[in-house]
Amino acid sequence: MKTNNYVLWGATGQAKVLADIIYNDGGTIAKIFDNREIESPLQGVDIAYGIGAFEQWLNSVGTPEHYSAIAAIGGVSGFDRFEFYQLFCNNGLLTPSVFHKTACISQSAILGENVQILAHAFVGVETSIGHATILNTKASVDHECVLGTGVHIAPNATLCGCVTVGNFSMIAAGSTILPRIKIGSNVIVGAGSVVTKDLPNNVIAYGNPAKIIRRQDLVR
């Protein structure tokens, strides 16, 4: 079952981006939640704050299966995005993926749930993409790539064929990852980098060719 009536978690720019896709697809947004007490970014859409308000809303609607939910959280917050995906599943909400109509997605690609594929993004043949991953505007993920959960491929980043990206990693805007490179989990590849060698878990790397700049704990 699929419903085009959405609940978003996250009230920043990513909510506007997702709303644009959902509205263009004839959908509606019932409610936005955020932990911070900020204004709703969407005209006419009510916002509520914190997990308590979310639980209250769930109790009041009584039929969570009539709603789709997705975390409108970008940047390096892939771990949070994945946790919200799990929260939605555990509470009986539907967790479809959201695709911009200009995205080009191979029929042989295997996509998880709550994946966000934005305008003009490309997903090549036999590519696999984990839950709660974002392919941002014009991101290109070529043949046989394997992306984990909570990954973010930022605008205009290019993954050549057979690239692997571990859970919660972000490939920042305009970067290029050469063929067959393996990038670990919880990695940030800085904007405009060219990655020519494998990267281990828990590092930040950038430059051309990309060098490891420092190690990092799991970004939350």
33, β-bridge pairs: 9, 48
- Helix, coil or strand: residue 102: coil
Minimum separation from the CB atom of position 213 to ligand COA (A): 7
Q: Which one of 48-56, 142-150, 179-187, 202-210 is the stretch in contact with ligand COA (CB under 6 A)?
A: 202-210
For the record, the structure tokens of 158 come out as 């290019």
Minimum separation from the CB atom of position 153 to ligand COA (A): 10
Residues 10-69 that bind ligand COA (CB under 6 A): none
Residue 204 found at the interface with ligand COA (CB under 6 A): yes
Separation of alpha carbons 105 and 109, rounded Å: 7
Q: Which one of 18-26, 121-129, 158-166, 199-207 is the stretch in contact with ligand COA (CB under 6 A)?
A: 199-207
Minimum separation from the CB atom of position 194 to ligand COA (A): 10
Residues 75-134 that bind ligand COA (CB under 6 A): none
83: number of CA atoms within 13 Å, CB side?
9
Residue 203 found at the interface with ligand COA (CB under 6 A): no
- Helix, coil or strand: residue 105: strand
For the record, the structure tokens of 49 come out as 């704050």
Cβ-contact 194, 213 below 8 angstroms: no
Catalytic annotation present for 152? no
Residue 186 found at the interface with ligand COA (CB under 6 A): no
Separation of alpha carbons 190 and 187, rounded Å: 10
Helix (H) or strand (E) holding 188: strand 188-189
Which of 66, 100, 131, 143 does the annotation list as catalytic? 143
Number of amino acids touching ligand COA (CB under 6 A): 14
Minimum separation from the CB atom of position 125 to ligand COA (A): 26
Separation of alpha carbons 170 and 80, rounded Å: 13
Q: Which one of 18-26, 119-127, 141-149, 186-194 is the stretch in contact with ligand COA (CB under 6 A)?
A: 186-194
- For residue 114, which of 218, 220, 10, 219 has the smallest C-alpha distance? 10
* Rg of the chain over all Cα atoms, to the nearest angstrom: 17
Residue 135 found at the interface with ligand COA (CB under 6 A): no
Interface residues with ligand COA (CB under 6 A)? 74, 136, 154-155, 172-173, 188, 190-193, 204, 206-207
Catalytic residues: 143
